[in-house]
């Protein structure tokens, strides 16, 4: 099959994978004589203009190339046939073909050498740094969207799948009502908000900025080290349980079996309040470069399970067909308890509250002692 008089592929034998928006094929550019990847939309996705492949290409095609980002070459609409033989139109993106497995596959099939974690993490951060410098928020950083290219004893991670990325014109961020992503990797602020017509479920308006990607990176780093997700996955937890874990699990519980040299980075990436996180990828790179490389494999790790909670107290019960959520209005604040909403909305830290309570108790005790001695 020839698309756009330029790209040759066989849809039956050249399928590389499928995703939220469509399928990816191995193809050959007969004009430039090079191999490329074709991302072809489903017909239904064509009408979803906000998250269309063409809009994805428009955001990325002029982005200066970077070794840690998959390059976009072209984008167009091509005629085709559906399973019923009806004429349809499909959107097509032409991307750099990267030979290698995605990070998710590597984590499922093998254990990363300890010495590989730092260069992979560094590459991901450099890719994010480049995106953020050009005002692009990825919004779906996860292992399946990171391809690992191995050649000549070098490891080069490449971030891909910008289908739900967002251009941020100003550092003030984007409206949380337009947030999508993958629950296990989503920053806490992404769960709070509402549509513009109905914002009654939130106590404060929170703009989403580049620090949401830094939270996702922290989850990926944790997973690379431990081969576990810190807050659960769709395979073992309900959405309500994952959100509860994200909002309630203490970071100290997560760090028990993580090598000490990574404690600072993970704990600072996974701060629930964005203001307590790293400000940008450069700051994480500085801490990462302080970690001494060790040529050894990661020891077997058994994470301590977070404290069990009664999930019946949550009203969230959403089943997602896709791991990446494509619905704008998925912010399930109504399923969270009043306690959780207030806890997240508060700008005071737990330690500040404890100090106030302690000071009040001391004051009361002193007053009682003074009164008894008078």
88 and 236 both lie in a single domain: no
140 and 9 both lie in a single domain: no
Whichever domain contains 203, its CATH number is: 1.10.510.10
256 and 327 both lie in a single domain: yes
170 and 264 both lie in a single domain: yes
Instruction: Give 92-126 pLDDT, tens digit per residue.
Output: 999 999 999 999 999 999 888 989 999 999 999 99
Predicted pLDDT of residue 281: 97
- Is residue 275 pLDDT above 80, yes or no? yes
The residue among 96, 119, 138 that closes a domain is: 96
118 and 81 both lie in a single domain: no
- Is residue 268 pLDDT above 60, yes or no? yes
* Best CA proximity match to 190, nearest among 274, 133, 253, 269: 274
Residue 82 lies in a domain: yes
Residue 322 pLDDT level (bands cut at 50, 70, 90)? very low
The residue among 46, 74, 96 that closes a domain is: 96
The answer to whether residues 145 and 163 touch, using CB atoms and an 8 Å cutoff, is no
Predicted pLDDT of residue 43: 62
- Is residue 362 pLDDT above 90, yes or no? no
Whole-prediction pTM value?
Answer: 0.74
Least confident of 98-102, 194-198, 332-336: 194-198
The residue among 96, 124, 142 that closes a domain is: 96
25 and 150 both lie in a single domain: no
Residue 171 lies in a domain: yes
The answer to whether residues 217 and 284 touch, using CB atoms and an 8 Å cutoff, is yes
Per-residue CA distances from 184 to 67, 75, 195, 217, 365 (Å): 27, 31, 22, 12, 46
69 and 122 both lie in a single domain: no
Per-residue CA distances from 112 to 117, 118, 265, 343 (Å): 7, 11, 19, 37
Instruction: Give the Cβ contact number of residue 23 at 10 Å.
Output: 17
To the nearest 10°, report the CA torsion of 321, 322, 325, 330. 10
Q: Domain range for residue 8?
A: 2-96
Per-residue pLDDT averaged across 42-54, rounded? 62
Q: Show the tokens assigned to 24.
A: 């990816």
89 and 119 both lie in a single domain: no
The total of structural domains in the chain comes to 2
Based on its alpha-carbon atoms, the radius of gyration of the chain, rounded to whole angstroms, reads 23
Q: How many residues does the chain have?
A: 374
Residue 255 pLDDT level (bands cut at 50, 70, 90)? very high
Q: State whether residue 310 is helix, strand or coil.
A: coil
Residue 370 lies in a domain: no
Residue 349 lies in a domain: no
34 and 71 both lie in a single domain: yes
271 and 224 both lie in a single domain: yes
84 and 199 both lie in a single domain: no
Residue 365 lies in a domain: no
74 and 140 both lie in a single domain: no
- Determine the angle formed by the axes of helices 211-226 and 114-133, rounding to 10 degrees: 170
Q: What is the DSSP letter of 44?
A: H
Q: Show the tokens assigned to 118.
A: 């730092």
Predicted pLDDT of residue 313: 29
Residue 356 lies in a domain: no
Residue 163 pLDDT level (bands cut at 50, 70, 90)? low
Give me the phi and psi of 306, to 5 degrees please: -65, 160
Residue 348 lies in a domain: no
Residues 138 and 220: their CA atoms lie apart, in Å, by: 14
Whichever domain contains 15, its CATH number is: 3.30.200.20
Residue 353 lies in a domain: no
């Amino acid at each position: 099959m020839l698309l756009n008089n330029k790209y040759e592929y066989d849809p039956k034998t050249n399928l590389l994978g499928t995703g939220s928006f469509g399928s990816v094929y191995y193809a050959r550019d007969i004009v430039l004589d090079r191999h490329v990847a074709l991302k072809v939309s489903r017909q239904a996705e064509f009408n979803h203009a906000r998250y269309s492949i063409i809009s994805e290409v428009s955001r990325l095609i002029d982005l200066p190339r970077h070794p840690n980002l998959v390059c976009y070459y072209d984008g167009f609409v091509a005629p085709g046939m559906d399973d019923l033989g009806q004429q349809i139109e499909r959107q097509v993106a032409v991307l750099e073909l990267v030979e290698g497995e995605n990070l998710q596959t590597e984590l499922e099939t093998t254990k990363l050498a300890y010495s590989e974690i730092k260069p992979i993490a560094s590459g991901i951060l450099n890719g994010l740094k480049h995106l953020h410098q050009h005002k692009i928020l990825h919004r779906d950083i996860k292992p399946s969207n990171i391809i690992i290219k191995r050649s000549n004893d070098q490891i080069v991670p490449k971030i891909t799948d910008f289908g739900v990325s967002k251009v941020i014109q100003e550092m003030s961020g984007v409206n949380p009502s337009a947030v999508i992503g993958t629950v296990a990797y989503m920053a806490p602020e992404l769960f709070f908000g509402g549509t513009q017509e109905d914002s009654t479920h939130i106590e404060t308006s929170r703009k989403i900025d580049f620090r949401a990607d830094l939270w996702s990176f922290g989850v990926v780093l944790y997973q690379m080290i431990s081969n576990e997700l810190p807050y659960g996955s769709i395979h073992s937890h309900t959405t309500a349980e994952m959100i509860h874990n994200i909002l309630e699990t203490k970071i100290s519980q997560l760090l028990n079996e993580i090598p000490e040299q990574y404690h600072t980075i993970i704990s600072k990436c996974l701060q629930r309040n964005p203001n307590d996180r790293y400000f940008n990828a450069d700051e994480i790179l500085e801490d990462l470069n302080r970690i001494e490389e060790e040529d050894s494999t990661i020891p077997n790790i058994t994470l301590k399970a977070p404290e069990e909670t009664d999930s019946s107290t949550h009203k969230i019960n959403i089943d997602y067909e896709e791991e990446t959520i494509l619905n704008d209005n998925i912010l399930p604040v109504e399923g969270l308890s009043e306690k959780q909403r207030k806890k997240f909305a508060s700008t005071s830290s737990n330690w500040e509250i404890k100090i106030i309570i302690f000071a009040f108790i001391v004051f009361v005790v002193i007053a009682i002692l003074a009164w008894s001695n008078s």
